[in-house]
């Protein structure tokens, strides 16, 4: 095999998609990753990287398109780092995601003898997100822009007029907020100098209630400067029910504040899932696709197989959505969640729905779970919905020590799911089934629910 050089042009056929959505092809056996390539494409690429084992190329021409290639409807596609698979027909997206779950469970987790269920597709492939986070940046003329980062770049922000993944109401709030910020001439935060005010705009919407929250994240308190935004949004976009400001004075580029100011309306939006009503504040975690979240939770309930007398631990509980749905079918639920704001929301959500058999605890699972075990509190069933990084090793060790009869693992990252399931299998569990769920059409992200039983 002759390794091509950087700058060289080669023709190849894309035969697979890698994690992250890049096409994978081979030039005389040499592996080339091709952003924008999809299986079945015959493409001519120019190599931008040519390492010893693989290269990366940019498409100069699609010589023969894949039958699964479609026209992406978003004008920002290819530049925006968000939807990397809009040019792939949706059935092909689902097949790609199902294959990736199967591959990673077998290759990384070395898991065999389980049922891999057919992937559940989304009924809405656009307008499905109930939360969007936009970065505020400035142009060379020092005017604020509100948008999303360019693909693979954190130093450049695209000014997004309209995002196809959010509702018309959220797009209206985005447009009106942009107009307000430009008119007011407010400064934009500079990451290097630490000077300036505006950092992020985070939008939330209750899809079943049509309530919209605008959360402006700033580097310093600016109540008087931003207070008029509330009246303007609530008059121009009728669904706006909450306008808040979160202050993040730290260098960390995150849309979480150390203090929150209510500028107008309520400090939360409401959502309805499974016959329950949830209050969601600015800094709380809630599943980003309401319709698919309901299906995901139904799967978790099915997998928990509750008879009414069980004690259940809900790890990484967020605002208590899964906890409260479980609580209607078991004796008691202990929900563990790191964010105090989410724990507060979970307590309010329990009260609003008349549920009194839940205890919510704030803290890291790796700390709180061993503490519960030490207190002699046992669980018959554990449901876990960890972040993308999966379980902390100490939390996983504590879970094995707890030894519940059933574990339901809700995952947003197949790689860490495979890793953790492998550890649980070595700890005495058997994987019965895994169900992939597409929560985020047009992106490479994949959710899955796994059911595990304690081996006899």
Contact criterion met (CB below 8 Å) for 408 and 383:
yes
Helix (H) / strand (E) element for 322: namely helix 321-327
Cβ contacts of 27 within 8 Å, gap of 6 or more: 4, 10, 11, 12
* 217: β partners: 200, 246
Residue 86 CA to residue 303 CA, distance in Å, equals: 32
Q: Residue 449: how many CB atoms within 10 A of its CB?
A: 26
Residue 131 CA to residue 285 CA, distance in Å, equals: 10
Any long-range contacts for 145-150 (C-beta under 8 Å, 24+ apart)?
145/178, 146/174, 146/177, 146/178, 146/181, 146/201, 148/76, 148/80, 148/81, 148/82, 149/80, 149/81, 150/79, 150/80, 150/81
Is 412 a residue of the active site?
Answer: yes
Q: Which two tokens stand for residue 188?
A: 């934009």
Say if strands 332-337 and 311-315 run parallel, antiparallel, or are unpaired.
Answer: parallel
Residue 46 CA to residue 13 CA, distance in Å, equals: 14
What is the Cα Rg of the chain in Å? 23
Instruction: Name the residue with tokens 């319709």.
Output: 291
One of 163, 330, 358, 412 is an active-site residue; which one?
412
Residue of 69, 74, 5, 73 whose CA lies nearest to 36: 69
Active site residues: 412
């Amino acid at each position: 095999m002759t390794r091509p050089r950087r700058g060289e042009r080669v023709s190849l056929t894309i035969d697979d998609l890698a994690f992250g959505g890049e096409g994978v092809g081979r030039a005389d056996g040499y592996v080339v990753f091709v952003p924008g390539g999809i299986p079945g494409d015959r493409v001519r690429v120019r190599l931008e990287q040519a390492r010893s084992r693989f290269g990366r190329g940019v498409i100069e021409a699609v010589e023969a398109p894949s039958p699964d290639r479609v026209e992406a409807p978003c004008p920002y596609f290819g530049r925006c780092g968000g939807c990397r698979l809009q040019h792939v027909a949706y059935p092909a997206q689902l097949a790609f995601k199902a294959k990736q779950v199967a591959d990673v469970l077998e290759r990384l987790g070395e898991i065999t003898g389980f049922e891999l269920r057919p992937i559940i597709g989304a009924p809405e492939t656009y307008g499905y997100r109930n939360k969007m986070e936009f970065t505020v940046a400035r142009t060379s003329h020092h005017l604020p822009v509100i948008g999303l980062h360019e693909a693979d770049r954190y130093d450049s922000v695209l000014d997004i007029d309209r995002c196809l993944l959010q509702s018309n109401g959220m797009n209206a709030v985005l447009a009106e907020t942009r107009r307000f910020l430009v008119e007011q001439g407010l400064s934009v935060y500079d990451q290097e100098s630490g000077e300036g005010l505006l950092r992020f705009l985070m939008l939330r919407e209750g899809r079943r209630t049509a309530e919209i929250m605008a959360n402006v994240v700033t580097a310093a308190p600016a109540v008087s400067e931003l207070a008029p935004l509330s009246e303007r949004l609530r008059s121009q976009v009728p669904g706006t029910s909450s306008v808040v400001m979160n202050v993040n004075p730290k260098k960390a580029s995150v849309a979480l504040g150390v203090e929150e100011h209510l500028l107008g309306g309520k400090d939360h939006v409401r959502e309805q899932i499974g016959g329950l009503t949830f209050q969601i504040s600015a800094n709380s975690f809630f599943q980003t696709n309401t319709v698919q979240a309901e299906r995901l939770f139904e799967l978790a309930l099915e997998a928990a197989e509750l008879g009414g007398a069980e004690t259940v631990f809900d790890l990484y509980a967020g605002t208590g959505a899964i906890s409260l749905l479980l609580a209607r079918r078991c004796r008691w639920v202990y929900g563990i969640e790191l964010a105090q704001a989410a724990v507060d929301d979970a307590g309010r959500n329990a009260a609003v729905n008349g549920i009194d058999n839940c205890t919510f605890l704030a803290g890291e699972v790796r700390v709180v779970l061993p503490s519960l075990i030490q207190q002699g509190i046992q669980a018959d069933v554990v449901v876990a919905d960890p972040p993308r990084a999966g379980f902390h090793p100490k939390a996983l060790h504590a879970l094995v020590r707890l030894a519940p009869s059933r574990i339901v693992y809700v995952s947003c990252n197949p790689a860490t799911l495979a890793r953790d399931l492998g550890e649980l299998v070595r700890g005495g569990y058997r994987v019965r089934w895994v169900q992939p769920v597409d929560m985020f059409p047009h992106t490479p992200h994949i959710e899955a629910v796994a059911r595990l039983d304690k081996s006899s």
